Homo-oligomer: A and B are copies of this chain.
Amino acid sequence: MSAYERCLALVEEALVPQLERLGEIPPGLKESMRYSLEGGGKRIRPVMLLLTAEAMGVPDGEALPYACALEMIHTYSLIHDDLPAMDDDDTRRGKASNHIVFGEGQAVLAGDGLLSAAMELMLLDAQSRPDLRGTRAAYAIARRCGVTGMVAGQSADLSWEGTEVTIEKVRYIHTHKTADLLTAPVEAGLLLAGAEESALALGRTYGLQLGLAFQIVDDILDVTGDPALLGKKTGLDAAAGKQTWVALRGLDGARKDARRCTEEAIEAISQLPGDFSPLAAIARMNAERVR
């Protein structure tokens, strides 16, 4: 079993119990939150957090609340993103979207609930850590998912739909909508270990470059991918007038950029002390999606 698979199993096992730690959630709210939280996916963000923590010698048990919180935040963003007023998607990972099953009102609340639960879970843990490492990890995650992070990216994406595509806009959206939530797990894992600023800087470079590569590959697949293999429709971004890397740089340019970003991500993470080879492998696996 690979390190990724082992961490994935830990996350899958812990997600619902971590939610249960918060107490009695009304049945309707809990059902709608669980519906999306248990919707599968690669769990890349929590796995990255556990892998970073492991490489730095932090026990899995100490990192799990933060890992699960991050997956809850990612899930909330998908629920709100699928709403008719946003991307208007009826399906997600092959299942009906949250608002299709539970209605729009409860879907808004399921998202609000998951974001709140994520914060509560991290703070519940952090308040018993006098070294403030939990508080710092929670802050890093809150910042990356907030109004200068993921929410900023979502808002810009919505505002700029159908406007002229520029490198500044595409980079801003990819950085905040995608890369910030891939940087968060590395930062949080390092902060739980009490890492220094120099290590954090390398982790952030890895997260940013991986995030850009990840989104560039997604943009390429939206043009060249086989819908049957991908399990989702293609050509949607161009049709919606979205700011994409391919729209700006063409397919060849985008492929070149994805390779360069991948190399920079691996270069940065390899300079950290400890075994970060599973994180380098994640960057390589992403690049291979367009081989």
Q: Which residues of A line the B interface, CB within 8 A?
A: 19, 22-26, 28-30, 33, 76, 80, 83-86, 99, 103-109, 111-113, 115-117, 119-120, 123-124, 126-127, 129-130, 132, 134-136, 138-139, 142-143, 145-149, 151-152, 154-156, 158-159
Contacts and interface: CB of A to CB of B under 8 A. Distances in A.
Given A111-B112, A115-B112, A159-B28, A23 B124 contact: no
Residue among A26, A33, A115 with max Cβ neighbours from chain B (10 Å):
A26
A127 B120 contact: no
A134 B85 CA distance: 36
A278 to B, nearest CB: 28
B152 A26 contact: yes
B33 A147 contact: yes
A22 B148 contact: yes
Contact of A113 (B28, B119, B147): B147
A129 B134 CA distance: 12
Q: How many copies of the polypeptide does the oligomer hold? A: 2
Contacts of A22: 143, 146-148
B151 A116 contact: yes
Q: Interface residues of A: mostly helix, strand, loop or mixed? A: helix
8 contacts: A23-B148, A84-B104, A85-B103, A85-B108, A106-B155, A112-B115, A116-B145, A120-B143
B155 A113 contact: yes
Please give me the 10 A-B residue pairs with the lowest Cβ-Cβ distance, nearest first: A85-B104, A116-B146, A123-B139, A29-B155, A85-B105, A120-B142, A23-B148, A113-B147, A28-B159, A113-B151
A86 B112 contact: no
B80 A146 contact: no
Given A116-B115, A142-B120, A142-B123, A147 B25 contact: yes
Nearest to A134: B135
Given A109-B154, A132-B127, A139-B127, A117 B147 contact: yes
